[in-house]
Amino acid sequence: MKVLHVVSEMDPELGGVSKAVRTMAAGLHLHGIKSAVVSLDDPKAGFFSVEDLTVYALGPAKNPWSYSKKLVPWLMANSLKFNAVIIHGLWLYNSHATRIAFSKLQKNKKNILPKLFVMPHGMLDPYFQEAPERKLKALRNKIYWRLIESKVINNANGLLFTCEEEKLLARKTFGSYKPKKELVVGMGVEAPPSFKMSMSKAFNEKCTGLKNRPYLLFISRIHEKKGVDILVKAYAEVLNETVHKDFVSTSSSVDVQKKSSVLPALVIAGPGLNSAYGKSIQEMVKKNNNLSENVFFPGMLEEEAKWGAFYNAEAFILPSHQENFGIAVVEALACGKPVLISDQVNIWREIEACGGGIIGSDTLEGTIHLLQSWVNSSPDERKKISRNAEVCFRKNYSVGSVLKKWKETIGSPDPENKQLKQIVST
């Protein structure tokens, strides 16, 4: 069985779709489903060395729409070699081009078309139409939806969602939303490699200054959507509280070592430090002496350094304003780490049901709640949440737990092409 993933860009620094496709392809490969990717990246880019994944880079497409005249001809020449084609993401040329290619292939009645799916990766979330800072983009999306994207979505065999919450949110965003099928297929994430001391060494080399202190880990893009600014502000408030408690306890001759209310350091890792937003976050920390001694920015972490960061953390934290799935959240669960997340991370319900983390709102108050809840938890409570986190991963997000859904969904081509007849007529 072979699957073609149609992606705009595969640059890992962009996170989101590119990371999800890599994770998905690796998981499917373990169970005999081969994947290939066609993207609009520069073929000279250095981020295509992915084991067991063939990438056809047709770019670079250096324009806002990621248009490339090569994509439609390539899809027409190669799509029939696959059992299924999955369009990843919305609002860029890759989805429109795939629809055009399938329309042309459909005209030859001898062609047996593969099934065509769209995986929106949270891009139908109402957040993107309602966020105050996105008014112009929201207007653009509304027009684009009417002209192009609604036809892509409504005429495909189905939409693929990573969780129930994403499916429900997608229904609220646009009118004329009438997909043939809404399929919750999940996201199978490979189990992390077993811990090795070299992982700790690699992380410590990237995060100099931490010096083996306990820490909470944020690892994602440094972006407004991720709530990094409220994380730093909340951390500053809770840090001031715990410093005051330490002073009172010491003054009252209380054994400080027996207290659980000690705030770990905060490691903020990921790409985006050089953006205007990333620089503003670093400046916020630099201006506050307490923060500058306790918050660390190691940049983007990969391979052993990334796993060293996960395994050595007390807990993972992400107060995101919108998170479709959150691969980093699942990776933390897989490492047996409690996750402190907002209720805007779409998989929060499953995590809460398993007891694998602490949930708060995506506000300053909600993030303070996350930090305070962790600080005030006992060692036994933390051990319990850690055990639950690993169970949550195995039950909901391991490759084996979602593979059956994927196989049932991808299936085999439709010999009569019934599902795609509307493509030609619309």
H, E, C per residue of 211-254: CCCCEEEEECCCCHHHCHHHHHHHHHHHHHHHHHHHHHHHHCCC
Same fold, 2-189+402-415 and 197-397: yes
pLDDT tens-digit profile, the chain (426 residues): 899 999 999 988 776 788 888 888 887 887 788 899 999 999 888 777 666 688 999 988 889 999 999 999 999 999 999 999 999 999 999 999 999 999 999 999 899 999 999 999 999 999 999 988 899 999 999 999 999 999 999 999 999 999 999 999 999 999 999 999 999 988 888 889 999 999 999 999 999 999 889 999 999 999 999 999 999 999 999 998 876 554 433 433 333 333 345 899 999 999 999 999 999 999 999 999 999 999 999 999 999 999 999 999 999 999 999 998 999 999 999 999 999 999 999 999 999 999 999 999 999 999 999 999 999 999 999 999 999 999 999 999 988 778 777 877 776 444 444 444 433 333
Encode pLDDT of 187-222 as tens digits: 888 889 999 999 999 999 999 999 889 999 999 999
Q: Name the architecture of domain 2-189+402-415.
A: 3-Layer(aba) Sandwich (3.40)
With beta carbons less than 8 A apart as the criterion, state whether 298 and 197 touch: no
Measured CA to CA, the distance from residue 369 to residue 265 in angstroms comes to: 17
> How far is CA 170 from its chain centroid?
17
pLDDT score of 291: 95
Q: Which residues contact 143 (CB under 8 A, 6 or more apart)?
A: none
Tell me how crowded residue 59 is: count the other CB atoms within 10 A of its CB: 19
Residue 261: closest CA among 287, 285, 279, 243 = 243
What does the angle CA 337 – CA 341 – CA 343 come to, to the nearest 5 degrees?
145
pLDDT score of 245: 56
Query: Does the pTM exceed 0.75?
Result: yes
Measured CA to CA, the distance from residue 222 to residue 278 in angstroms comes to: 6
Measured CA to CA, the distance from residue 85 to residue 413 in angstroms comes to: 10
Encode pLDDT of 405-424 as tens digits: 787 777 644 444 444 443 33
**What does DSSP say about strands 295-299 and 265-269: parallel, antiparallel, or unpaired?**
parallel
Q: Burial of 64 by CB count in 10 Å (0-12 exposed, 13-18 middle, 19+ buried)?
A: exposed
Domain locations in the chain? 2-189+402-415, 197-397
Q: Which amino acid, residue 13?
A: E
The CATH fold assigned to 197-397 is Rossmann fold (3.40.50)
Q: Which two tokens mark 244?
A: 């005051």
Largest CA distance in the chain: 86
Q: Which two tokens mark 301?
A: 């972490």
pLDDT score of 425: 34
Q: Is the peptide bond before 193 cis (omega within 30 degrees of 0)?
A: no
Q: Which two tokens mark 118?
A: 């769209």
pLDDT score of 253: 37
pLDDT score of 343: 96
